[in-house]
Every structure is written in C-alpha cells, then in structure tokens.
Amino acid sequence: MSQLRKFVNTDHVLSIREQCDILSIHKSGLYYKPKGEKKENLRVMRLMDEHYLNHPTEGVLMMQDFLRDKGYPVNHKRVRRLLRLMGLMAIYPKKNLSKLGQKKYIHPYLLKGLNIDRPNKAWAVDISAPRRRFF
C-alpha cells in the first residue's frame, strides 16, 4: 500500500481523488502519518525485553508486577499489547493434542478390521507395554 501512495502526484492532470480511485487506495491514507510509540513505551519495552531474556516463563501478569515494582504504572492490557508488538510470548507447556508424536511411538490400531461378534472378544488392551496384543 505504501508503494502505491508514491505514485500519486499533486501536479498531475488527474485530480488526487481520481488517482486514488485508479490505484484503489483511500485518499485519507495519503495524509496519515503514523506517530510510532511514545518514549515511555519504548523504555517499558526495553525493560520487558531485558527481563524476558532472564525469565522467559513469566507472562503478562508477572511482567506487570515487575514493571510496577520498577515504578511504571501499567495495566495488563498495555503490557499485553507491547509484548505482542515485540513478538514475545511466555514459554509454558501448551496443549499438543493435534500434533502427532514421534514415529517410533505411533502404533497401529489393532482392532481395525476385527469383527467383534460375541461378548468378551476384545476386552483388554495394555497401553503401558507396547507391542502386546490381547484379543
């Protein structure tokens, strides 16, 4: 988008509105200049980055407590926004339900294709010891 804004010329025969329509960009986007982060937020981000390197398991609430101890009055929403902006995320055990395990631990479903036509034909499976079959 920023590359298309460079094509708009104020001295051109076409009006700025027509040029924006041709390039499919908003006219208001030509005049908008992003402000960037405040100096206080940059200081807070530097502190959070240094703290994260030593304590990568601490999340938003512990980071908020750390910053309040340092004298910065921040709330959890600001800390979360700044952490996302920096691309930092706490390291903790996450659910891995959809990922397959290591190949050597994946075993075939042993009852597949087995016609269970009477009671007690397939009643026990020992999951603690691999390679054992009970039918």
Q: 5-17, pLDDT tens digit by residue?
A: 888 888 889 998 9
CB 111 within 8 A of CB 90: no
Range in 5-9, 13-17, 56-60, 72-76 with the lowest mean pLDDT: 5-9
Q: Which domain holds residue 27?
A: 2-31
Question: Which pLDDT band, with edges at 50, 70 and 90, does 30 fall under?
Answer: confident
Does residue 105 lie within any of the structural domains?
no
What's this model's pTM, rounded to 2 decimal places? 0.56
Counting the structural domains of the chain, the total is 2
Pair (21, 54) in one structural domain: no
Does 78 lie in the same domain as 51? Answer: yes
**Distance (Å, whole) CA 134 – CA 124:** 6
Q: Are residues 75 and 59 part of one domain? A: yes
Q: Kindly tell me if the per-residue pLDDT of 128 is higher than 80.
A: no
In a domain, 63, yes or no: yes
Domain membership of residue 20 (yes or no) is yes
Q: Does 129 fall in a domain? A: no
